[in-house]
Amino acid sequence: MISVRITSKGMLIGYMLAVALACILPFNAGEYWVRLMNAALIAAVAVMGLNFVLGYTGQISLMHASVAGIGAYAVAITSTRLGLNPWVGVVIGVSAAGLFSYAMGMLLLRLKGHYFALATLGVNISFTIVAANWVEVTGGSNGITGIPVLSAFGVAADSEQAFFYVGLFMVGILAAFAYYIRQTPVGRSMMAVRDDELAASVSGLNLTRVKVAALTLGGIYAGCAGVLFAFHARFVAPEDFSIGQSIFYLAMLVVGGEATILGSILGALTITFLPEWLRPLGSTYLVVFGLIVVAMLFVAPKGMAGLFGVLREKFGSQSSAEKEEKWRFSKSGQ
């Protein structure tokens, strides 16, 4: 119990320090690095959504980028082609992404394992083909430009520094909601399905309903990421939501640590920044990037968040043992 309290206090202090550091970051970094941080925050939102699907229920989805694309294109089309308020586009984009994920879940979750993964791969490829060829609506390969700046209460996110706080706020809110879901019966049901589908079915859980709920939640988060991407880049195109981006989201979650919210954020930050740090290597930087990712998987099979867990248990147990020894020493009167 003592070690748990110490750990909780340490985690709270660490969280507060991280938030404080993040808040002052835009004033101490160049615009390019703040832009990268914004991209990492957007990716973190998407990866937290993928965590519901892969981390909580164990379903490999390769269509996550296309779901984010639905949110982004909804904002782009409603704000530029239809002239609607950008916030209306936000609601439409997030809702459309969630409904699309729900529909795909009802259709595709009859499949299991790699069959489901291949089906979602086909969905993502189909999305990019449609987006590239439906020129009248999506602008085709040229995409859609002129997306307005997101603003609220007279404050516009018209710079990288201003947008950073929008992204940070969204990550904080959605991370808190993901943590809440994890503690609810819905979240526990998802993890029960991931651990043993047969046992979960025998206990009375509706496997399809639980998986569809996870996919829908993941779609809502992906829609939020797509909306943020549209307002950040102010431009959307099919290649922004290709199968390669879905694989990047998957890599972010695996490297950061499946089934953990911290892992989703750490993975997004690492995979976003690591290629930029390696660019001085020239044309070989992608090879080195791939080798580093593979090495990380060998060293930390449970991801970066898993390493933190191992260290926490190690030092927490040592602290508890030391306190127990001190209690025995004082009890004996020595």
Residue spans per domain, the chain = 2-331
Q: What's the pLDDT at 229?
A: 98
Q: Quote the CA–CA distance of 175 and 181 in Å, as a whole number.
A: 10
Asked whether 97 and 226 are in contact (CB, 8 A), the reply is yes
Q: Quote the CA–CA distance of 282 and 158 in Å, as a whole number.
A: 33
Q: What's the pLDDT at 9?
A: 61
Q: What is the CATH number of domain 2-331?
A: 1.10.3470
User: In whole angstroms, what separates CA 126 from the centre of its chain?
Assistant: 23
Using CB atoms within 10 A of its CB, is residue 242 exposed (0-12), middle (13-18) or buried (19+)? buried
Taking the CB of residue 160, how many other CB atoms lie within 10 A of it? 19
DSSP 189-222: HHHHHHH-HHHHHHTT--HHHHHHHHHHHHHHHH
Q: What's the pLDDT at 24?
A: 79
Q: What's the pLDDT at 53?
A: 97
Structure tokens, 302: 């449970």
Which residues of the chain carry a pLDDT beneath 70? 1-15, 309-334
Q: What's the pLDDT at 11?
A: 57
Q: What's the pLDDT at 2?
A: 37
User: In whole angstroms, what separates CA 264 from the centre of its chain?
Assistant: 5
Q: Quote the CA–CA distance of 88 and 281 in Å, as a whole number.
A: 45
Place of tokens 């927490």: 316
* 3-state SS class at 235: strand
* Angle in degrees, 0-180, between the axes of helices 243-256 and 114-133, rounded to the nearest 10: 140
Place of tokens 């020129």: 135
pLDDT in tens, 7-63: 456 556 666 777 777 777 777 778 899 999 999 999 999 999 999 999 999 999 999
Q: What's the pLDDT at 330?
A: 43
Q: What's the pLDDT at 19?
A: 72
- Of 316, 266, 325, the closest CA to residue 296 belongs to 266
Q: Quote the CA–CA distance of 203 and 194 in Å, as a whole number.
A: 14
- Residue 156 backbone zone (phi > 0: left; psi -120 to 50: alpha; other: beta): beta
**CA angle, corner 273, sides to 268 and 276, nearest 5?**
150
Q: What's the pLDDT at 316?
A: 59
DSSP 82: S
- Residue 123 backbone zone (phi > 0: left; psi -120 to 50: alpha; other: beta): alpha
